[in-house]
Structure 1
Amino acid sequence: MSKVIANMSMSLDGYIADTADGIDQLFGWMGNGEVEVPTAVEWATFRMSPASAEYMREALSGAGALITGRHLFDITQGWGGTHPVGVPVVVVTHNPPADWPHTETFTFVDSVDEAVRVARDLAGDRNVVVASAKIAQQCLDAGLLDGINVDLVPVLLGEGVRWFENLSKAPVQLSDPTVVEGNHVTHLAYEVVRKA
């Protein structure tokens, strides 16, 4: 059965973007190695350390759908119609764009519950990846998140966008991590421990 997994690159002090939504300090690990990892789009071919490349290939092959929020969709301009992961994208928004031409790969819904249901249907037996801070928080609060993958970058941003700053149901217990050490990044994969 597929899992719903939140994944983000994050600074050591807990930020996933700077105050202007910039991510340059957090994604250098995707281009600092000798192993090429192609994606579904020509403009995003990664060059990573061998360990990060293996981690990324596994993540890409295991993904079946992606959930994001309208804010990230707008910042990226909908990735030009194709997300680098190359899977269907479900966007949570109360205001879907009226003239978005890529309806074959993008679905707009107005709730996190519906997003997870639609994404699971689209993903089949592969994983659903949540790539949005607010949506990941809502999924965690609703008990819909199975795992959290953190690409921990050794930088202190000092301020910016925090990943899990507004949880309504904290504390949340996580499993011990699976750890992969890359160049200028440590990949941590946790399972969300369900309360009995």
Structure 2
Amino acid sequence: MSDVSTGTGTGKVVVNRAMSLDGFIAGPDHAMGWIAEYLTADAVPEVMAATGAMLVGRGTYEVARRMADQGPAYDGGAQFVLTHEPPDEPDPTVTFLTCDLEEAVATARSAAGGKNLEILGADVAAQCLQRGLVDEILVYVLPVLLGDGVRFSPPGLGRIDLEPFSNTRSGAVTTLRFHVRR
């Protein structure tokens, strides 16, 4: 494992999530605008500095595109989208990958240049967790109850044991960090 605070070694694979208190990472119809009410990229400079690349699924990519007019995007370095069907019109800011999950993680991790690879999106994160590819989970718990939407983890994920190593509060946001036990 690396020490991301000093930038030495090889970065970690980190599932990064903002979550409502009732366990949703997106509201009904994948709505995520509520997150910006509590959490912005400048609120987590240490996470931004430690991130070299992001890997998301196609659904998360499409939601982010729809939200692009709601403010500045999370700049986590090189962006990779794992998909079975790349879009007809290329996006010069994103690399679309059609390979298997392990190869996608290795490709994105290499592009991270020794920094962390952030995994965003429920499906890709669950697949990475199931295959033992995740080192850490970072959760921003936001003070809102959504009542419905996209859960933190999809049904059928199975048990994943975690070791808590940090919890902090900044304003209304509580940040929880866990190592994934292997």
Match of 2:177 in 1: 189
Match of 1:14 in 2: 23
Give the length in aligned residue pairs: 169
1:74-85 map, 5 Å: 74-77=62-65, 84-85=74-75
Among candidates 117, 120, 126, match of residue 137 of structure 1:
126
RMSD: 2.0
Letter in 2 for 1:14: G
SS of match in other structure, 2:118: strand
Match of 1:36 in 2: none
Unaligned runs of 5+ in 2: 1-9
Identity of aligned residues (%): 34
In 1, distance between residues paired with 2:138 and 2:13?
11
SS of match in other structure, 1:164: coil
Query: Does structure 2 retain, via aligned residues, the 8 Å contact 1:137–1:167?
Result: no
SS of match in other structure, 1:114: helix
Query: Does structure 2 retain, via aligned residues, the 8 Å contact 1:18–1:159?
Result: yes
Query: Does structure 1 retain, via aligned residues, the 8 Å contact 2:122–2:154?
Result: no
Q: Does 1:179 align with 2:159?
A: no
In 1, distance between residues paired with 2:139 and 2:48?
15
Q: Does 1:153 align with 2:162?
A: no
Letter in 1 for 2:97: V
In 2, distance between residues paired with 1:86 and 1:146?
18
In 1, distance between residues paired with 2:135 and 2:34?
28
Match of 1:34 in 2: none
In 1, distance between residues paired with 2:125 and 2:156?
10
Match of 1:35 in 2: none
In 1, distance between residues paired with 2:110 and 2:73?
18
Instruction: Give the Å deviation of 1:23.
Output: 1.9
Match of 1:119 in 2: 108
In 1, distance between residues paired with 2:33 and 2:74?
17
Match of 1:93 in 2: 83
Q: Where has structure 1 moved over 6 Å in runs of 4 or more? A: none
Match of 2:61 in 1: 73
Among candidates 64, 71, 90, match of residue 52 of structure 2:
64
Instruction: Give the Å deviation of 1:101.
Output: 4.0
SS of match in other structure, 1:137: helix
Q: Does 1:26 align with 2:35?
A: yes
Unaligned runs of 5+ in 1: 32-38, 40-45, 47-52
What do residues 22-53 of structure 1 show as CA deviations (whole Å, max 9, x unaligned)?
1233332226xxxxxxx6xxxxxx4xxxxxx3
